[in-house]
Amino acid sequence: MRNHFIRIADVFFRFIVAEKRRATTVILTLKNGFVGLVLVSAVSLSAIDFAAAADPVKPGGVAAHWKVKPDPPTQPVEWPASLAVSIQQPPRIEEILFPQGHSPFCMVGLDAYESQKGELWNLATGKRVGAIQGTPPKAIKRALSADGKYMALAILDRAQANDIEVWSLETGKQISRFQADERNYSMTILDFAGPDEVLTYTLGQTNGKFGHHLRVWDAKTGNSARQIDLDKNLSGDQRYDISPGRNLLVSIMASDAVIYDLQTGQEKGTITPPNRTEDGQSVSLDGVRFSPDGTELGCLCSGGRGSIIATYDLANGDQKSKCELTAAMKASLQHPASYKGPALEYVSQPNGFLWYGSGFVDRETGLLLWTYKQGILEFSHWRRIITPAGMIVSTGGNGARKIQVVPFPAEDLEQALTDYRSDKPALIKPGEKVKVVVKVTEVRFGTKEEATKAIEEVLAERLADDGLEVADDGNTILNVKYKEGAGKVLKEIKGGSSRGGGTPTGRTVQSTAAEVDLSWTTKDGKTKVFAHKLDLDPSMLTVRTNEEVTAAVAHKQVFAILKLQLAGLPMPFFVPLDKSGLSLPMVSNSSMAAPLSKADALKKKIEARKNLGKK
C-alpha cells in the first residue's frame, strides 16, 4: 500500500493519493480560498454513497417518556417595525457576543480573549446601554444573559481553570467569582439559566470515575444554587439550546435530542428525529432550537445528499411539521460551516426558518425562498437576526465593518409564494419542461460524447430536484458549453495527510482545468432566465486508487468534482411569465456584494482619494 501527496510548489494545498481498493476521499481547495467541498466516492461518481449502511433506519419523531411542558418567555422580545441600527466596529478582528436564546442584546468591542472594551447594545432601540468598566482577565469562554444584565467569562489560565467571573453590564464592574469545578475538568457550556443564574456544564474524572456536572450558580454572589449529576455527556457549542423561559435545556446526544429540567435536573423527554430522507439518504442531528414562544422544538438533520427540518410540539412530543431540503439548496448558502449563530432559527413572517443565517426556508413547502450573499472579501460569520424591519447583520470589509439592518423581503416572498402556488403562467415552474443542449468543444481524456452524456445526466437530476423535466420540446433552453485544458502541475508527495507532512517523490502530474458556461433562456433567446460560469482548476485533490497516479487519474477526479458542483448548482425554480412578477429564490446582497453603478463607483473612488492621508 502506498500513500502519495501531490502539491503545487507555490502553495501549501495538497493532492493526496492513498491507494486503496475501496472508498476514495477527495478534498478540494482553491488557491484563493477554501471551497468547502468534500467528496466521498467509491471508484466513480455513480457509486457515491454518503449513507452509513450499518446505521439502522430510525422512525422520525419518536418521543420517549414525555414529561416536557411548554416554557414561554417571561417577556417576549418585541422588535419594532423600523430599526435604525448602525454600530461601527473597530478595524480589527472583533468578537460579537449574543445570548444563546432570543434577545435584543449583543456585545461588541470584544477581542478574541480580552473584554475590557466590551459594549452592550440594545438592537431593538439601536442604543448603547452598557459597557465594561475595568479589565477582566483573558477569557476562554464568554456568555451574555438574555436580559442584558450580565456577562460571564471563564478565565484562560490553567492555574485558574474553571474559574468564572460575572460582570454587571449595568455598573460595568465585576460582581462575583467562583470555581465551577475541579481544575482537571473540561467546561463545554457556559450560559445563563433563570434570572440572575449562571449555568455551567463540566466533565472529567475524579479517582477514575467520570463525572458530568450541570450546575447553576447565583450570578450576584457566586454561590452554588443547584448541582445536577448526569449520566450522559451534554453537547456544547451550537449543539444545545435553552428554552425562552430558561427552565429547559435540550442537547444533542448521538442521534437524539434530550431535554432536561434545569430546576430539578430530571430528564423530561427524548426526541429521535429522522435519520434518513424519503429516498434513503443518511442524515444526522445537527442543530436544535426552541421556538421563540417556547411551544416547539425544531431539529435540523443534515447529510451529504440532503437535510431535514422537523418540528415537535413540546406539549406532547408529537411531530408537527417536516420538510426535506436538497443538497443543491445547501450549496446556495455561503459559509454554513463557519456560521456562529444557530444552524436553525424560527422566523414568524413568512412562517419558516433561517438556515445557517444565509437562507430562508418556507415551513409548509420546504422551499428555499431566499438567500443572503456577502462580498468575496467580507467574510462575516456572526449571528444574524430576522426582524420585521429587516435582517440585523455584521457587514462591510475590514476597517469598515458595522452592524446594520439589510432588507429582508418578507412581503415579496409571501406574494411570490402565492403566485408559485397559483395557476399563473410561468416560464419556469414545477411540471414545466426544459431543453438541455450540451456542447463539448475540447476534452483531455475520454470522448466528447462521454462528457456530453455525463453532464446531461447530472443536469437532468438537478432540474428534477425542482420538479422540472428535461425534454426536447421544453419551453426554455439551457445551453451548456464545456471545455477542458491543461490544469495546474501538481507535485507528488509520499505519505502525510491533507494538513501536511509526507516526503516528495520528485514526480509531477498535470491536472485538468475545466470550464462550464451555462445560459438559460426562452426559446427565442430574448429573455435570459439564468446564467452561470464555473471554472475549476483544483489546487488540491485526494484520491484512493490502485492505479498509478497519472494525468488521466487526476482528470477523472476533477470531472467527478465538476459533476458534484453541477448537481448542487443554485438555480431558479420559479420564473413568472409576467416580467413584473417575482422569481424564486430571491437574493439580498450586502453592500459589498451588490454591484455598484458606474456613477456610484466613481463617487466611491473620489471619496477614497479625498480621505487619503486623513486620520
Q: What is the pTM of this model?
A: 0.82
| Cα–Cα nearest to 395, from 379, 417, 413 | 379
State the cell numbers at 299: 431539529
pLDDT one-digit tens code per residue, 402-443: 999 999 999 999 999 999 999 889 999 999 999 999 999 999
Q: Where does the chain hold its CATH 3.30.160 domain(s)? A: 3-23+423-576
pLDDT at 231: 86
pLDDT at residue 20 above 50?
no
Contact 254, 240 (CB under 8 A): no
Among 30-34, 61-65, 369-373, 495-499, which is the least confidently predicted range?
Answer: 30-34
Among 3-7, 73-77, 332-336, 519-523, which is the least confidently predicted range?
Answer: 3-7
Distance between CA atoms of residues 201 and 215, nearest Å: 6
pLDDT at residue 17 above 50?
no
pLDDT one-digit tens code per residue, 498-533: 667 778 888 899 999 999 999 999 999 999 999 999
Cβ neighbors of 220 (< 8 A, separation 6 or more) are: 166, 175, 176, 196
Residue predicted with more confidence, 10 or 387: 387
Among 21-25, 246-250, 273-277, which is the least confidently predicted range?
Answer: 21-25
Pairing of strands 476-494, 433-442: parallel
pLDDT at 375: 81
CATH fold of the domain at 3-23+423-576:
Double Stranded RNA Binding Domain (3.30.160)
Pairing of strands 469-470, 150-155: unpaired
Please count the other Cβ atoms lying within 10 Å of the Cβ belonging to residue 37. Answer: 16
pLDDT at 3: 36
First-residue to last-residue Cα distance in the chain: 61
CATH fold of the domain at 65-81+92-272:
Methylamine Dehydrogenase; Chain H (2.130.10)
Q: Where does the chain hold its CATH 2.130.10.10 domain(s)? A: 65-81+92-272
Secondary structure of residue 289 in the 3-state scheme: strand
Beta strands in 55-185 (DSSP E): 62-64, 86-88, 95-97, 105-110, 119-122, 127-131, 139-144, 150-155, 163-168, 174-179
Work out the percent of the chain whose per-residue pLDDT is above 70.
85
Q: Could you tell me the CA-to-CA distances from 403 to 172, 242, 285, 575 in Å, in that order?
A: 22, 25, 31, 33
* DSSP for 366-388, written as a single string: --EEEEEE--TT----S--EEET
pLDDT at residue 141 above 60?
yes
Please count the other Cβ atoms lying within 10 Å of the Cβ belonging to residue 70. Answer: 18
Residue predicted with more confidence, 207 or 377: 207
Distance between CA atoms of residues 110 and 119, nearest Å: 8
Beta strands in 138-208 (DSSP E): 139-144, 150-155, 163-168, 174-179, 186-192, 197-206
Contact 567, 455 (CB under 8 A): no
pLDDT at residue 16 above 50?
no
